[in-house]
């Protein structure tokens, strides 16, 4: 996972893997001082104020552009790399809105962290919490799709039914409980992989109990 902690002036990057966070080279962008604009016309808005705010917006756009290009380079080296974004106040949210779709889909979460004070261990802990929340959300969404699809012929829940769907090459996504092992499970995964089906593993024990060993979302179903 790549983490970026940013504000209006700087961005720090971290490579988080194997339970550790290693800081990578960061970047700094020139920025207007963070003080309020004071008009010389009793605070009435005017040309100077508009120019000031326009300059701030342009600096932010360039700064986010530099960060985006660095993230693109870092994630391009490793396919499917996840991204965690953090910053003070609205910085992380604003940056996420500016990301192109190719990077936005990699972001697993955001948090409020100050790049001037944060430590690699602090970034790693925050990123792992975000990843855990994302995984739980994905597990819940998957089990909901399974349970809603079983009654309409668009999903299966159970080893026998799922193996039958695999034999008919109907499986779009094979859903496996992380805590379930065995020859039948291994064979199902191998067959699903050969059929270019997606393999989804449920990690949350409470959610996974609602799956009877194996489940699947199907390519075909009753309309």
- Return the CATH class of domain 151-218: alpha beta
40 contact partners, CB below 8 Å, separation of at least 6: 48
Under 8 Å between Cβ of 118 and 11: no
pLDDT means per 10 residues, the chain with 223 residues, are: 91 90 89 48 53 69 89 82 90 87 91 92 94 92 94 93 94 93 90 94 91 91 45
Sheet harboring 107-111: ordered strands across?
A: 20-28, 10-17, 2-6, 83-86, 107-111
Residue ranges of alpha helices (H) inside the chain are 47-76, 91-98, 101-104, 120-150, 159-167, 183-194, 205-208
Q: Decide yes or no: CATH 3.40.50.11540 for domain 2-132.
A: no
Q: Can you read off the two tokens belonging to residue 105?
A: 């889909």
Q: What is the pTM of this model?
A: 0.73
Under 8 Å between Cβ of 121 and 14: no
Residue 69 CA: distances (Å) to CA of 102, 129, 141: 12, 26, 32
> Domain extents for the chain?
2-132, 151-218
Q: DSSP class of residue 37?
A: P
Residue 42 has a pLDDT of: 46
Residue 31 has a pLDDT of: 60
SS (H, E, C) 153-167: CCEEECHHHHHHHHH
90 contact partners, CB below 8 Å, separation of at least 6: none
Residue 159 has a pLDDT of: 92
């Amino acid at each position: 996972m790549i983490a970026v902690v940013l504000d209006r002036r700087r961005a720090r990057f971290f490579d988080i893997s194997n339970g550790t966070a290693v800081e990578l080279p960061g970047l700094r962008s020139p920025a207007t001082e963070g003080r309020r604009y004071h008009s010389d016309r009793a605070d009435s808005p005017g040309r100077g104020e508009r120019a000031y705010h326009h300059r701030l917006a342009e600096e932010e756009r360039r700064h986010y552009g530099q960060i985006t290009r660095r993230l693109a380079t870092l994630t391009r080296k490793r396919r499917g790399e996840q991204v965690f974004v953090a910053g003070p106040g609205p910085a992380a949210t604003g940056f996420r809105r500016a990301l192109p779709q190719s990077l936005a889909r990699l972001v697993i979460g955001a948090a409020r962290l100050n790049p001037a004070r944060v430590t690699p261990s602090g970034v790693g802990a925050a990123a792992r919490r975000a990843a855990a929340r994302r995984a739980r959300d994905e597990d819940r969404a998957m089990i909901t799709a399974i349970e809603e699809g079983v009654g309409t012929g668009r999903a299966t829940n159970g080893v026998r039914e799922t193996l039958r769907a695999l034999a008919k090459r109907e499986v779009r996504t094979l859903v496996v409980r992380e805590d379930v092992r065995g020859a039948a499970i291994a064979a199902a995964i191998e067959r699903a992989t050969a059929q270019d089906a997606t393999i989804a593993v449920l990690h949350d024990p409470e959610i996974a109990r609602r799956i009877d060993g194996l489940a699947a979302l199907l390519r075909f179903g009753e309309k």
